[in-house]
Every structure is written in structure tokens, then in C-alpha cells.
Amino acid sequence: MTSPQLPLALRWPRRQRFEHFHAGENAAAVEALRAAASHGSAPWVFVAGPLGSGRTHLLIAACQAAIDDGRTAQYLPLAALRGSRADAIRGMAGSDVLAIDDLDSVVGEADAEHALFDTFNRYRADGGTLLFAATSAPASLGIALPDLRSRLGSLTQVVLKPLGDDERRQVLREQAAGRGIELDDTVLDWLFAHHARDLGALLDLLDTLDRASLAAQRRVTVPFLRSLLKD
């Protein structure tokens, strides 16, 4: 399967790479996706995990890894699509690797389920690689199309475990230190009590903190955080 690398790949956030994923208990999931991204003969992977567990990070990391290894890759976030999602799914042909995120958002949409089934068969016949992610495993999603449910259930399935609070605090502290920002325990305590606690949201906030503290030439303190989040 050959096609030009899509411009979309150029817009993938740089931190969403395997080397920036803090695996914790999810090392097996990382290795399964790394293998699938790099080798057309490796098993396809279905990633299940709650919001904030790193599903999107890993799918995008797999796409970038595929490109780094000379393959072409596309990433399709179903929940973000407007209009006919069935048409969007059918239009994603031609790449070596296709990562389909938010599968649970189209459960029960007959046209979309059939499009996924057709895409599955096409990629299997052409020797490509499909990767999927959703909030739960195929058997628990409520997929109406039996053949699609069966095919998804045959894939290598990994269930992500979110990092614990201590691990997230350590990751956030290390990421901040790399930017020259000191986050003391008081700041972290306030942050975890008043902000979304999934790692992706916290790292997004760190980006905002970095810019705001530089612009204001101020240390990151609880009053500074309170003012920033209020604005």
C-alpha cells in the first residue's frame, strides 16, 4: 500500500511520541503498538482505556513510529468528525497504517459500522495495519454488526491503566523541571485539587503555565495558578 505521507502527520503534537509516554503498568501495550507500527506482519492492536489513560497519545505515537520506519500513516479521530463518519472512514484508504480513535463514538451507527467492517477487510487483504482505540474492549462496546464485533475481538487487546496520582505528580514535576519551572508540593496539591487530573490535561496546562510565567516573569505559585485559571 503506497501513498504520500499525509500533511496531517506534520501537525501531530511532538510530545505524543512513544519516548514521551510514561508507561507505568502499560509497557506491554506500548510494545504491542510499536511492533504493529513498524512491521506489517505484526498483530493488529485494539487499545481500551478510560479518558486520560493515553489512548490517543499511543495511537499518534504509533503513526509517527510508522513514518519514522518508512511507512505511511493516517490518524482518524472519529469523535471529532462532522458530517458522515461512514464516508470519512471509507475515505481513509491508501496508507500502510491507519489508527482509528474513539471507536465507541460510532457504535450503533449502521453506516459507520459497515464502513469499519469494509475498511478492516480491505486493509487485511492489502497487507496494511489497522489500530483501534475506545473506552472499552470490543465485547463491551455494544457494536451492532456481528461480523465487525467478531473481527475486532480477534485482535490483540490491551487495556490501559491510568497512572496513579504519585506517578502523575512525578511526571508533571519532571516535565516542568525540563522547562525551568519548579512545582513544589503546595502547588501540586492545589493543582490536583482544582484541575482535571488526567495526564494529558495536566500537560496541556503545563504548556499554558510555561507561556504565562515567562510572559509575567513570575514563579509558579498557588496565587499565580489561581489567577491564571480564573482568567
pLDDT tens, position by position, 45-61: 999 998 878 899 999 99
Same domain as 121, residue 38: yes
Based on the fold, state whether residues 102 and 17 are members of the same structural domain. yes
Q: What is the mean pLDDT of residues 89-96?
A: 89
The per-residue pLDDT for 52 is 78
Q: How many separate domains does the chain show?
A: 2
Express each pLDDT in 6-19 by its tens digit.
334 445 566 678 88
Percent of the chain exceeding pLDDT 90 equals 57
- 31 plus 130 within the same structural domain: yes
Summarised one tens digit per residue, pLDDT across range 166-201 is 888 888 888 888 888 999 999 999 988 888 767 777
Residue 51 lies in a domain: yes
Are residues 20 and 100 both part of a single domain?
A: yes
Judge whether 97 and 119 are in contact, CB under 8 Å. Answer: no
Angle (nearest 5°) at CA 74 between 3 and 55: 160
Same domain, 38 and 126: yes
* pLDDT score at 231: 65
> End-to-end CA distance of the chain, in Å?
49
Mean pLDDT of 134-140: 95
The domain boundary residue, chosen from 138, 159, 180: 159
pLDDT at 6: 36
| Residue where one domain finishes, among candidates 144, 159, 174 | 159
For residue 5, is pLDDT > 60? no
Q: Are residues 178 and 148 in the same domain?
A: no
What is the Cα 173 distance to its own chain's centre? 22
Same domain, 142 and 193: no
pLDDT at 14: 63
The domain in which residue 217 lies consists of: 165-230
Q: Does the pLDDT at position 98 exceed 70?
A: yes
Tell whether 52 is covered by a domain: yes
Q: In what order do the strands lie in the sheet with 73-77?
A: 73-77, 97-101, 129-134, 45-48, 156-159
What was the pLDDT predicted at 1? 43
Whole-number pLDDT of residue 8? 43
Is 2 a member of any domain?
no
Contact 92, 114 (CB under 8 A): no
Whole-number average pLDDT of the chain? 88
Q: Per mean pLDDT, which of 121-130, 188-197, 220-229 is the most reliable?
A: 121-130
